[in-house]
Structure 1
Amino acid sequence: METMPNWLHKRALMTPDRVAIIENDTQLTYKELQMRSVEVANALRTKGIAKGNHVGFFMQNSLEAAVCLHALMYIGTVIVPLNHRLTASELSFQLNDAELTYVISDDELKGKASEALNDLNVSLLVYQELQKGSQELSNLEVTIELNQLHTIMYTSGTTGKPKGVMLTYGNHWWSAISSSLNLGHEVQDRWLCAVPMFHMSGLSILLRSVIYGITMIIKPRFDPHVVNQSIQHEGVTIVSVVSAMLRRMLDDLGEEGYAPTLRCVLLGGGPAPYPLLKTCEKKGIPVYQTFGMTETASQLVTLSPEYMLQKQGSAGKALFPSEVVIADNLPPGEHGEIRVKGPTVTSGYWKRNEATQEALRNGWLHTGDIGYMDEDGFLFVLDRRKDLIISGGENVYPAEIESALLEHHAVKDAGVTGIQDEKWGEVPVAYVVSDQFELSSSVLLEFLSERLANYKLPKRISFVDELPRNGANKLQRNQLTNLRETKQ
């Protein structure tokens, strides 16, 4: 049984005086972070939380949230991050499904947490109401097992009920190591976290920063101006975003460039539109496009900035020590399901044996994403299999149409989905956000017709105020048809 020291415990021993976390004007060294986490862990233990309990984490991004997560690791609980943007009924399903015994919320979210708990036999603890615990270490987990379950994290559930992805300490450890082997590891790194800690992207920043011994800068939520100011004035070297976030950051940045300290913009959430990458190249912004999922404990494939335009649209190559193939090793250029394997891959879904067996076959995770490899071994992700539109026998990828729409200077955001059609089976329809009222669907269709085959052209373009996105800013295509048009 492979073991290693608790990550925060080891880090505080190695580099106690390094700055661990910054939130506004408050900062903690690793020794201070450890002491606070131990106190909170002991306070939680007096409330009855014990090793192996499934505990819901229902807090907004904050220094206290980071302390709470480390405290739960000191107890050895299984952490179940809960998305506070969900409705009470959606949360109730996850609370029940994950077999939670406790939920920890912050002051601001305790009302919503209480509503979600309703008749469930789950205890609610409010972080700010905890009494200060002791600094005693004797009953805490200063050693971890790599095969020990660390997280049950629910997928967004765009089709059917969400599934709880089981991730071990070993999954998270290898994710951190493979990322550092690719991005490099510098002692002065500062990783900005403006993505939610209840998502894989935010949680992975928290875990990696402790393993690397670098500083995590926490923002309560994504605000393009606040993020830009942090990059310019707080020495940020790495920031994690998706395309929609980066576009808003560039709009706010205007004619300026970023401080030279910024060495990596880690870009997830699907292929980046060419104009966005071109702007980044012009401004010297180092964009690393990535492909990953909750089931792989964050990024699994990453494209380095030197290939940003040469391999435009590619997610890159698999990180150490992971592998990627297309279906049953299809030749370059042929489209098929992306399959992955490696030590960051989940062992399966909580209480979902059938779904686990369906996803994990012959040692490979069947991702449900469609893509291809080029002659040089670079992965191109086309779309989610469930989002694929089959129109008159032709495969139509929503992401390709969205990318073409975003090339138009007046389009701020775009989403595409399929609707039923008597003649073709399915046809694509588009939803566009634009601040230029004179922009029309006919202008956009003419623009698209120069870039896309006729069968890929949307049969309808609707203008809307905003697109539905989840807490990680990923587009939720299954909700597009519910949107109301803002102009005809």
Structure 2
Amino acid sequence: MIPNWIEQRASITPNRCALTYNNQSWTFEELHQISLQKAAALRAQGIEDNSRVAIYVTSSAELIHLLMGCMQLQVEMVLLNLRLSEAELAYQIDDAQVDAIIIEDHLTSHITNSTRQKILLSQVDGPCDRPLVAQQWQTDHTMTIMYTSGTTGNPKGVRQTVGNHVASATSSLYNSGLIEGDAWICTMPLFHISGFSMLCKSLLHGVRLDLYSSFDVKAVTKQLVEGSATRMSVVSLMLQKIVAQLESDDASVSPRFQMMLAGGGPIPQDYLKRAYRLGIKVTQTYGMTETASQTTTLANEDALRKIGSVGKALLFNEIRIDGAEKAGEIGEICIRGAHITPGYIGKYAQQSSTIDGWLYSGDLGYLDEEGYLYVADRRSDLIISGGENIYPAEIENVLITHPAVIDAGVCGVDDATWGQRPMAFVITEGQIGEQELQKHCERLLARYKLPLAIHIVDTLPRNGASKLMRRKLKELL
């Protein structure tokens, strides 16, 4: 059993600022009272304790109020990705067998073919009697369900328990510590594990969450420069935009800023080096939906010495490389710890999430002589050309070092001679041609790694968390 986070946090630091959004702010006690109001309003709409609801709402203070109301009722929350098609949403809603769907009022046209009860976000409101809520939560109770992006087959509904979220937030705290006035900048969507884990850290660590409905590079860099927040979580594309904005403004970040967690895939080394010159303490991290966020993190003091690594396992977590017998050998990354999902729901409910206690991540990587983890690529994204393994991220890293390239994505395409060949897609600025980019690659890559072609495009396919979806790159052809 674990004490109710919301009740206990409001008791410990009632008057501390907990949340800011659009120039408004709320203390922990104010959020506590709102969460009780939302819990009562949910009951009035027929939502019972321990039921399962789907949530289709944009990141906002109103969403956080709703999530905390659901927590009070110990409702299992299926967090729907706002970027999904109607068919993808229908699959997840049906697979999750939810009791109801809570939809933001202006988004109702996105979900029309479900027979499940629909509740408008505006209906979860109004004065209600203070409800009785549990003061203790079961550690193994499923708090959230998030569907994986589905690199192969249908997406899986991943269960994340109260204990999973506590284990993740605890390991993170042991790694990073706390300072006076700590605050997270949250531009990641709350339906994604990175965004939701920041809400958990806010409640469990007692720190402020500065929430954005979407990534606003100018507003974020303003906070970084003035030092009004201390931590942030980003993916590669966000880091690139922040670095470019700071360079354009001839500015650097405040020394109060403690850490920028960089995850969601390999970060190009060029971005890292430029970020350090601007005073950004980039902390590369590795995690996934099945691990309730972080599993490994590279400590700040090792950032330049081990550039490109995602660090070592956080306290209480374990990692190993399946099949590797010595340092440097690439294999599948396996993870063990209290943050690992107990399993899935729906179509994959009978599939175990672990083998002998280990989660097989589907990611390829290696450990160096000192035990630092390097992620090579998704196993499903691996390109095998003429018997040679080619990792798309390696080619992407090279392309991004060219000053005219803003973003890059690489996938494998079928080839009659070699089996597969890499194909590259880039977003550029200024006048640049494929021939020049190919020459750039020739200087830095082995011949078998050279892209078959380099296509200049306007956008690259990314999911709701801005992670590159390499499997969709071929559609650009």
- The TM-score normalised by the length of structure 2 is 0.97
Matched, 1:191 2:184: yes
Matched, 1:394 2:364: no
Q: 1:474 aligns with which of 454, 467, 474?
A: 467
TM-aligned CA distance change 1:418 to 1:137, over 3 Å: same
Matched, 1:128 2:122: yes
Alignment size in residue pairs: 475
2:277 maps to what in 1? 282
2:70 maps to what in 1? 72
Q: How much does 1:112 deviate?
A: 1.6
Give distance in 2, aligned partners of 1:236 and 1:69. Answer: 23
Letter of the structure 2 residue corresponding to residue 292 of structure 1? G
Q: How much does 1:328 deviate?
A: 4.0
How does 1:291-440 map onto structure 2 within 5 Å? 291-328=286-323, 330-353=325-348, 356-357=351-352, 359-437=353-431, 439-440=432-433
Residue by residue over 1:92-130, the C-alpha shift from the partner in whole angstroms, topping out at 9 and shown as x without a partner, is 0000000111111222323323x2xx2x33111112233
The more displaced of 129-138 and 328-337 is 129-138
CA contact under 8 A between 2:52 and 2:78: conserved in structure 1? yes
Give distance in 2, aligned partners of 1:28 and 1:478. Answer: 41
Give distance in 1, aligned partners of 2:77 and 2:411. Answer: 34
Structure 2: segments with no counterpart, 5+ residues: none
Query: SS at the partner of 1:153?
Result: strand
Q: How much does 1:283 deviate?
A: 1.5
Letter of the structure 2 residue corresponding to residue 267 of structure 1? A
Q: 2:21 aligns with which of 20, 23, 26?
A: 23
How does 1:213-292 map onto structure 2 within 5 Å? 213-233=206-226, 235-254=228-247, 255-292=250-287
Q: How much does 1:354 deviate?
A: 8.0
Q: How much does 1:274 deviate?
A: 1.4
Matched, 1:204 2:197: yes
- The TM-score normalised by the length of structure 1 is 0.95
Q: 1:443 aligns with which of 436, 440, 446?
A: 436
CA contact under 8 A between 1:73 and 1:141: conserved in structure 2? no
Q: How much does 1:329 deviate?
A: 5.1
Residue by residue over 1:275-303, the C-alpha shift from the partner in whole angstroms, topping out at 9 and shown as x without a partner, is 11111121121000001000000010001
Q: How much does 1:459 deviate?
A: 0.8
CA RMSD, Structure 1 to Structure 2 (Å) = 1.4
CA contact under 8 A between 1:187 and 1:214: conserved in structure 2? no
Matched, 1:154 2:152: no
CA contact under 8 A between 1:40 and 1:133: conserved in structure 2? no
Query: SS at the partner of 2:458?
Result: coil
Query: SS at the partner of 2:159?
Result: strand
The more displaced of 359-368 and 162-171 is 359-368
Q: How much does 1:469 deviate?
A: 0.5
CA contact under 8 A between 2:333 and 2:362: conserved in structure 1? yes
Q: How much does 1:247 deviate?
A: 0.4
CA contact under 8 A between 1:56 and 1:104: conserved in structure 2? yes
Query: SS at the partner of 1:314?
Result: coil
The more displaced of 275-284 and 82-91 is 275-284
Letter of the structure 1 residue corresponding to residue 445 of structure 2? L
Give distance in 2, aligned partners of 1:473 and 1:62. Answer: 18
Letter of the structure 2 residue corresponding to residue 460 of structure 1? A
Residue by residue over 1:32-69, the C-alpha shift from the partner in whole angstroms, topping out at 9 and shown as x without a partner, is 00101100110100111112211111111111110100
Give distance in 2, aligned partners of 1:159 and 1:86. Answer: 16
Percent identity over paired residues: 41
